[in-house]
């Protein structure tokens, strides 16, 4: 694999990016209270820098921790059991054990999909998609673990891995690859960096991807993205994605096949060294965001909500806010979206948001920079 990537942007610009990730450079004033929210907040469990979670059919949870631990957690949060079988991860910077998602037929095939960052023999790094078969007993494990997809190429650095996973209603697998703070790869047709990818459930590129005939990597579904930290299908089958902008310009996008979302040619944020990036409106040939934030929210996880317990929010998107230390609601109307609520979460960075089996909203605190790393359950007041 190549050790370097030709860049249209000067190397000094990378130095201006905080090596620990956008959430530092984008920090905003901390929130202090959840008293004004329409939901009650109940702490359920504590973790060490959790990154993602998913629910098993019986209400238990799988939770990933950044350093490389997968935990099987009881529905009440009182029991946390390590699940063996996770490969070694590279957890420096923004790296680590990342997303975890069940196969749509988990009840019968017991397959668990997860992402993590790794280093190769040359010390270059990339994000990996893997799967294993869940086996339980006294010592739960993932068996027959296979790496089924690797980002291409591996590069230097520890930023913008992305690594979010979502299954489409038709069973196809979507996987996000960040542009790794290298800018140009988001527009490079041969690379998977800065892209939304569409795969079969075995990790091979799915047939019918719209850009393969134009010379793109055969897995590419959309391109021109930055750091894609949330992806979710709504009940109508629309694919939504959120990503961190540079200095400003966080986005929620409706992902459409074959579209170019413009980064780094356009963004409503600026480079960290203060240089301007042309706004989206200057280049109408690029697909524009549906919602945009400046000042930023530093978006973490993304969830499309069913409305079971909070019917007024049926179909809306929920985002975990890192530097904004908030839970953010995006009001969705078909294929359009607009800003909804932004609730402070007591000065805690929110990494992940999921819907529980009964419609409760669950959030994971990031566990970094003063955040406690708790799992919280949100219920109507």
CA distances from residue 179 to 3, 115, 220, 240 in whole angstroms, order as listed: 15, 16, 13, 18
Q: Partners of 270 in the beta sheet?
A: 247
Place of tokens 């109307």: 333
Q: DSSP assignment of 203-253, as one string?
A: SSBPTT-TTGGGTS-TTEEEE--SEEEEEEE-TTS-EEEEEE-SBS-EEEE
Q: By CB neighbour count within 10 A (0-12 exposed, 13-18 middle, 19+ buried), where does 27 fall?
A: middle
CATH number of the domain bearing residue 291: 2.120.10.30
Residue 34 lies in a domain: yes
Residue 350 lies in a domain: yes
Residue 3 lies in a domain: no
Q: How many residues does the chain have?
A: 381
The 3 state secondary structure assigned to 313-357 is HCCCEEEEECCCCEEEEEEEECCEEEEEEEEECCCCCEEEEEECC
- Under DSSP, the state recorded for 90 is -
pLDDT tens digits, the chain, 381 residues: what are they?
333 344 444 433 443 344 334 444 343 333 335 678 899 999 999 999 999 999 999 999 999 999 999 999 999 999 999 999 999 999 999 999 999 999 999 999 999 999 999 999 999 999 999 999 999 988 999 999 999 999 999 999 999 999 999 999 999 999 999 999 999 999 999 999 999 999 999 999 999 999 999 999 999 999 999 999 999 999 999 999 999 999 999 999 999 999 999 999 999 999 999 999 999 999 999 999 999 999 999 999 999 999 999 999 999 999 999 999 999 999 999 999 999 999 999 999 999 999 999 999 999 999 988 889 999 999 999
CA–CA gap between residue 188 and residue 201 (Å, rounded):
25
Residue 260 lies in a domain: yes
Q: Which domain holds residue 320?
A: 20-380
| The pTM of the whole model exceeds 0.85 | yes
Active site residue 271: no
Residue 11 lies in a domain: no
Contacts of 262 (CB under 8 A, 6+ apart): 224, 280, 283, 286, 287, 288
Residue 14 lies in a domain: no
CA–CA gap between residue 131 and residue 100 (Å, rounded):
9
Catalytic residue among 160, 225, 271, 280: 160
| Structure tokens, 108 | 């019968």
Residue 12 lies in a domain: no
Residue 313 lies in a domain: yes
- Overall domain count for the chain: 1
């Amino acid at each position: 694999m190549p050790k370097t990537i030709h860049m249209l942007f000067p190397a000094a610009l990378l130095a201006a990016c905080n090596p620990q990730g956008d959430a530092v450079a984008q920090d905003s004033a901390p929130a202090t209270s959840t008293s004004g929210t329409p939901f009650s907040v109940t702490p359920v469990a504590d973790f060490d820098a959790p990154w993602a979670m998913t629910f098993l059919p019986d209400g238990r949870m799988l939770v990933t921790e950044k350093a490389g631990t997968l935990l099987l957690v009881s529905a009440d949060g009182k029991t946390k059991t390590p699940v063996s079988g996770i490969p070694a991860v590279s957890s420096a910077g923004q790296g680590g054990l990342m997303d975890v998602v069940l196969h749509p037929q988990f009840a019968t095939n017991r397959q668990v999909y997860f992402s993590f960052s790794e280093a190769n023999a040359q010390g270059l790094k990339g994000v990996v998609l893997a799967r294993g078969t869940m086996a339980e007993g006294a010592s739960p494990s993932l068996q027959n673990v296979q790496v089924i997809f690797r980002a291409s190429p591996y590069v230097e650095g520890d930023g913008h891995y992305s690594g979010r996973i979502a299954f489409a209603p038709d069973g196809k697998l979507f996987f996000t690859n960040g542009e790794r703070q290298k800018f140009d790869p988001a527009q490079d047709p041969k690379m998977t960096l800065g892209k939304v990818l569409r795969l079969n459930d075995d990790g091979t590129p799915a047939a019918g991807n719209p850009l393969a005939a134009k010379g793109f990597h055969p897995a590419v579904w959309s391109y021109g993205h930055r750091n894609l930290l949330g992806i979710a299908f709504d009940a109508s089958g629309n694919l939504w994605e959120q990503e961190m902008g540079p200095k400003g310009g966080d986005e929620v996008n409706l992902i459409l096949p074959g579209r170019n979302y413009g980064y780094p040619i356009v963004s409503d944020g600026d480079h960290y060294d203060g240089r301007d990036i042309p706004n989206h409106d200057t280049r109408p040939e690029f697909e524009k965001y549906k919602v945009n934030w400046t000042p930023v929210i530093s978006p973490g996880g993304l969830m499309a909500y069913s409305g079971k317990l909070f019917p007024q929010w049926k179909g809306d998107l929920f985002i975990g806010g890192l530097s904004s230390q908030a839970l953010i609601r995006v009001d969705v109307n078909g294929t359009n979206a607009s800003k909804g609520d932004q609730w402070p979460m007591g000065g805690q960075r929110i990494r992940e948001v999921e819907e529980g089996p009964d419609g409760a909203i669950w959030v994971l605190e990031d566990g970094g920079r003063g955040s406690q790393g708790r799992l919280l359950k949100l219920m109507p007041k």
